[in-house]
Amino acid sequence: MIYPIVVYGHPVLRKVAEDVDKDYPGLSQLIDDLFETMYHAEGLGLAAPQIGKSVRIFVIDGSPAAEDDPSMADFKKAFINVHITERTGDLLPMTEGCLSIPNLREEVNREAHIRIEYYDLNWEYHQETYDGYKARVILHEYDHLDGIMFTDRVGPLRKRLLKGKLNAISKGMFEADYKTILPGQKVKV
């Protein structure tokens, strides 16, 4: 099922999401739906809060970025109960966008290396390290689980300049090729 994507300003995007149990109802369906919704909206990643579910799950398929970074071609995964256990390395700048903030792109600084733990769809536990583009996408999606938007991480001057644009977006003044839920609208949980 393709879900509408929750837009900037909606309270569900500001909640700290919770871990799920192994027998969380509809877990594998939820992951299928996240992938389907992400593909429909042509995103690289999608976190559960972006479809209104405040749980620590996100999916990534890096293949659209394979031209910029060939290692992204087969980077397709679902991450369940994700926790970052280490962030190291210099802060590197990169331009990011987000399906919850249509048509806005900004440069964001993030750590170069991370160590994470998570469960996969077969409920196997993993500890892995990532850097480069993969770490970037994981850090962006992970922020959604902590109620953080990428625009929170731009410098203070940019932040001030973005305020009006973000306000307009949260009022629905944007065009997107996918369905959205604006702040004030109810999400189906």
Residue in the block written with tokens 């609208």: 185
φ and ψ of 156, to 5 deg: -60, -35
- Which residue carries 């994981």 as its tokens? 138
145 binds Zn ion (CB under 5 A): no
Nearer CB in complex with Zn ion: 21/109: 109
> Which residues from 101-120 bind Zn ion, rule CB under 5 A?
none
Which of these segments, 19-27, 91-99, 103-111, 127-135, binds Zn ion (CB under 5 A)? 91-99
Structure tokens at 55: 């749980």
User: Among 84, 145, 141, which Cα is nearest to 118's?
Assistant: 84
Q: Distance between CA 26 and CA 111 in Å, rounded?
A: 34
Give the total of residues touching Zn ion (CB under 5 A).
Answer: 1
In the complex with Zn ion, the residue whose CB is nearer, 20 or 136, is 136
User: Which residue number places its CB atom closest to Zn ion?
Assistant: 98
Please report which helix (H) or strand (E) contains residue 34, including its range: helix 27-40
Of the residues 18, 96, 141, 175, which is catalytic?
A: 141
* Closer residue to Zn ion, CB minimum distance, 111 or 127: 111
Reply yes or no on whether 128 is catalytic.
no
Asked if residue 7 binds Zn ion (CB under 5 A), the reply is no
| Strands 57-61 and 76-98, bridge-based pairing | antiparallel
Give the list of residues 6+ apart from residue 182 with CB closer than 8 angstroms, or none: 7, 9, 10, 170, 171, 172
- Tell the smallest beta-carbon distance from residue 1 to Zn ion (Å): 20
Tokens 């909606």 appear where?
Answer: 10
Note whether 98 binds Zn ion by CB under 5 A. yes
Rounded to a whole number of angstroms, the minimum distance from the CB of residue 64 to Zn ion is 15
Q: What does the alpha-carbon distance between residue 59 and residue 114 come to, in Å, rounded to a whole number?
A: 17
123 or 152: whose CB is closer to Zn ion? 152
Candidates 79-87, 98-106, 108-116, 155-163 — which segment interacts with Zn ion by CB under 5 A? 98-106
Minimum gap (Å) between residue 17 Cβ and Zn ion: 13
> What gap in Å lies between CA 137 and CA 86, rounded to an integer?
16
Residues that bind Zn ion (CB under 5 A): 98
Residues serving a catalytic function are 141
